[in-house]
Structure 1
Amino acid sequence: MSTTEQHFTPPPADRPRRVVFLGSTGSIGTQGLDVAAAAPDRFEVAALAGGSNTALLAEQAVATRAGAVGSAAGTVDGLAAAIAERAAAEGVRGYRPELFAGPDAAARIAAWEGADVVLNGITGSIGLAPTLAALEAGRLLALANKESLIVGGALVKDAAAEGQLVPVDSEHSALAQALAGGTRAEVARLVVTASGGPFRGRSRPELAAVTPAEALAHPTWDMGRVVTTNSATLVNKALEVIEAHLLFDVPLERIVPVVHPQSVVHSMVEFVDGSTLAQASPPDMRLPIALGMAWPARVPGAAAACDWTRAAEWTFEPLDEEAFPAVRLAKQAAGASATHMAVYNAANEEAVDAFHAGRIGFLDIVDSVAAVVDEYDAGAVAGASLTLGAVLAAEDWARNRARARWEQM
């Protein structure tokens, strides 16, 4: 997973791991805190960073006695007041964590002194700076924020020592587990499964009139607005294909998405002798979260296993790239330059917001991403070298160009 020669040493096993939760008020963060609460012998909450839901963040802070709390929204005074109010309501006295607020709060929390593990559950490319901060601070990084790896690319890989970055997405956790069944030279293909989202089986014309409410009605997973919408367009699967390429150094042409609506087989590794190893479990993010936080150990009872006493049917079908071209587009972007995926991701984030605001239609999401990516001149916008500044410049250009498109439509 890393281009560095240094090997990462996991935290000691003779005490609970001290975990930092980034995006603690979101889907991954709340489930991660559930995992920690259920296994107090394995995990302690070191610090929390949340978003705009200050009330929930304060509740989490008081419940866990986190040593540091950060919020991207609001002020330190506002966060302090919310925590004090919650503590008073709970009858808790003397709890005064160190507080951070503003756009750099998550990055500062990611490097919190004394932590062992950082679970990055932030949604979107704003997770890049915290990802880099956690790696540079020497923490084990349980990465659910796929966008930071996708837009950061070599920046993230170069910052990570071998074994320091552990994937939390269910698909990549599955691949990491299955890859243990052979050597890298024996890997023929990575097969990344997709539920197909709420519109599986629909043709492109049938997708033209779908509504935001329909796009958020995912048949399997309970996720936030952006990820759920990305699952409906299959942009999420496109990002996961690129993530698999970056994590496991397998060429894009050997990474294949396959639609599996039951979401029980989370991904598979096909080896050169024709054998395929799959990781299967009911759709529950607590399993890959627990594995990421405890890596390389497993946490007993983290989630329920498959019930092999009951009949079940698992189906697999090829992806309809005419109706859902997001994966093909992402592979083309990833091969164009080091910053094209930053443009792809930023344009998509803007398009998702525009769709939910009623400014564009469902099909316009990926069509707009394709148009912005096609217009992008990496040399003129970001320059020849891959730096954090180059990534941010590419993102800013893409967001501005995407917004300009809505005004013209």
Structure 2
Amino acid sequence: MHNRVNISDKIYWVGCNDRRTHLFENYWPIPKGVAYNSYVIVDEKIAIVDTVEKGAMDEYLDNIEAVLDGRQADYLIVNHMEPDHSGSIRSLTERYPNMQIVGNKKTFPMLKGFYGISENLLEVKEGDSIDLGEHKLNFAMVPMLHWPETMVTFESTKGILFSGDAFGAFGTLDGSIFDDELDLDYLEEEISRYYSNIVGKYGSPTQQALKKLGGLDIKMICATHGPVWRTHIADIIAKYDKWSKYDTDEGVVIVFSSMYGNTEKMADNIARQLVKRGIKKIRIHDASKTHPSYIINDIFRFRGVILGSCAYNGGLFPAMETLIHELQNMAVKNHVLGIFGSKAWGGGGVRTLSKFAETIKWEVVAEPAEALCAPANKDYNQCEAIAESMANRLKELYS
């Protein structure tokens, strides 16, 4: 039995599940796996929309053959050139030598660069369309969502938006393809972690894309990862709107790096003082244990961030250094920050975090707390001051 599911009468999902890969893009943990979604529209002309990662290619080609039943593909729509979606293009061109590859002017240099393909190209621009017969494909450019060549394809007859990486999710599709067939609670963190880490840097382009697509009568969203959205379309669009505006909820993410437990004691003390002041949503992460993707996901959710690090060779602890590098690279906006840490003989942790605050331009709520060796009463008093200032500021913002 091949993996093909009717998205509508003549449109099929021909994607693949990947449960073997540990790290997406060789960096982001995917304990629940990931799905690579591709679609086939069968009409007078046949169009394949996006492909899959090359490791799933054999299964993928079998899925397409089962749908085409001996017919040839006429078009391959390339919404996004990242290799997890373009990895099977060369094999498709070998199997369907007359197939035209549809992309925009920024698509084709990448196509040649990755795969050496420069023939049978059909360039489309903003507002162009292709008639397949019953189905009509309309193209819109959404640059930097999340690569410069990214576009989306809207099938206007059925109201289906082929959205590329937008509205995607980590996690395999375990017998379910549509959002109303699966346990969305199970995938909730994978939906938001996908946005915050893969798309999150590009809040402004996401907002521009949402405005551009806002006038479409969208009946279904077919992303290249995660479920096909047909019931909760308004919900996922609202989430992207909120996340791309950097809107956050009242809550605090405390992240610490600690070698021998002294900085961790300060983190626990700050958390307790926050709770005493009415803050209920608190997430504490050890930067050495928790991958940055989970921490960043929580930072996208909550306004308050309190970072603490011991000194390490006169500088910041490496795990915390990795995290703040990620946050700076993503240019995460609109947070309130507290800073703490410890040192034994030479500082560096708190000093570097203070420089980070200046670079990322977050509002700092209180003077940093920095303990010498183990935290003493005066250090706990300063931790309490950080918690009090943070709680007061959040209450102002959310009252």
**Same fold flag (TM > 0.5):** no
Normalised TM-score (structure 2): 0.33
Normalised TM-score (structure 1): 0.32
Structure (1/2) with the larger strand percentage = 2
